Amino acid sequence: MDEEMRPLDGLLVLDFSTLLPGPLATLLLAEAGAEVVKIERPGVGDEMRRYKPSWGPEGDSVNFALLNRGKKSITLDLKDPDQRGKLDPLIARADILVEQFRPGVMARLGLDYDTLSKVNPRLIYCSITGYGQDGPKRDIAGHDLNYIGDAGLLSLSMGPSDRPVIPPALVADVAGGAYPAVINILLALQQRERTSRGCYLDVAMAENVFPFMFWALGKAFVAGEVPGNGDDRLTGGSPRYRLYPTADGRVVAAAPLEQKFWENFCDVIGLESELRDDSRDPAATIARVAELIAAETSATWAQRFAGRDCCCSIVATFAEALNDPQFRSRGLFGHPLAGRDGKTIPALPVPIAPFFRGEPAIPIPAPALGAHNEEYF
């Protein structure tokens, strides 16, 4: 698909956000063709610009580059009325605005939805915060770990109490913030086609974590049962959905939930018949499965599981995942991100159909701070 034919071609997005949730949301919009303009603080910019590791002779943050590929950057002191006034022409023609400040900050700057929608009634205005624009926690500072903790997600599977495990995925930032923002922005664009008016979108990361716990919600609402730490079917309480260490220190990810997969799994590992009905004594079955898996190496199990249709795999290292032929064959890392020195690395994989993203062979950079001031002022 030619770049000019991308789905969001011609749309202007003003991005006041920093770090991860907002920038990832606007990255998805940029990858689909939108013109995304980051509004950054003079001399400082997005905090992510200073995150390590650095990349290239200019010392640019690779994290910033991954999240801001294909965007533009302008610098303004939003507390200075004269500088803030330079935004007026952009606001008048913007389609989408994304911001991530605490509730009330944009209003104090004169950049809230009520004010801007009078200038531009078609503006779709998206605020991403931890807890939303109202409620008793609206002004509380937090990060991903706080949001998934407040939502109860951490309590369901955080390991031993003396060594609780921090999830490696930023669930609230990405799945509770960036993705819902994009979903609702796209819905708002569709609605605007019918009404010719924009709208205000209040994205609260903590509350958007709850769909991940649909099974726990069902138990709580209907059975009055509250799952504990690692004691439920999907959190380690069942032998059919667990991580089992192997003899060489690797781990088997075993997920034979359905009966046909469970029977195949039991056959492969040689589980005794009296333990295959895991409803009788789940703990005994778990212990025996763990013992059997621990007796052999990961290579042995990989060979035995191959072709047996039992939903089992060896947990890959991150390096192994990057070189997995499955991901490589689908071009997951085929879009290049350009550095300011001309060198390239793979761009961040994003959940956008390849034919919506434009030509993969063209290296696209992230913007230097204020690189597009002359274009817009």
Q: Which residues are catalytic?
A: 143, 173
CA-closest candidate to residue 45, choices 22, 17, 70, 69? 17
Q: Is 21 helix (H, G, I), strand (E, B) or coil?
A: helix
Q: Facing residues of 75 across strands?
A: 40
The answer to whether the beta carbons of residues 237 and 282 sit under 8 Å apart is: yes
CA-closest candidate to residue 156, choices 207, 246, 220? 220
The total of other beta-carbon atoms located within 10 Å of residue 88's CB is 10
The total of other beta-carbon atoms located within 10 Å of residue 309's CB is 12
**What DSSP string describes 264-317?**
HHHHHHT--GGGS-TTT-HHHHHHHHHHHHHTS-HHHHHHHHTTS-SSEEEPPP
How far apart are the C-alpha atoms of 244 and 296, rounded to whole Å?
A: 11
The answer to whether the beta carbons of residues 93 and 12 sit under 8 Å apart is: yes
Burial status of residue 240 (CB atoms within 10 A of its CB: 0-12, 13-18, 19 or more): buried
The answer to whether the beta carbons of residues 207 and 171 sit under 8 Å apart is: no
CA-closest candidate to residue 283, choices 231, 227, 216, 225? 231
The answer to whether the beta carbons of residues 28 and 352 sit under 8 Å apart is: yes
Q: Which two tokens stand for residue 251?
A: 């781990």
Q: Which two tokens stand for residue 212?
A: 């991940």
How far apart are the C-alpha atoms of 49 and 373, rounded to whole Å?
A: 18
How far apart are the C-alpha atoms of 124 and 104, rounded to whole Å?
A: 18
Q: Which two tokens stand for residue 243?
A: 């991580």
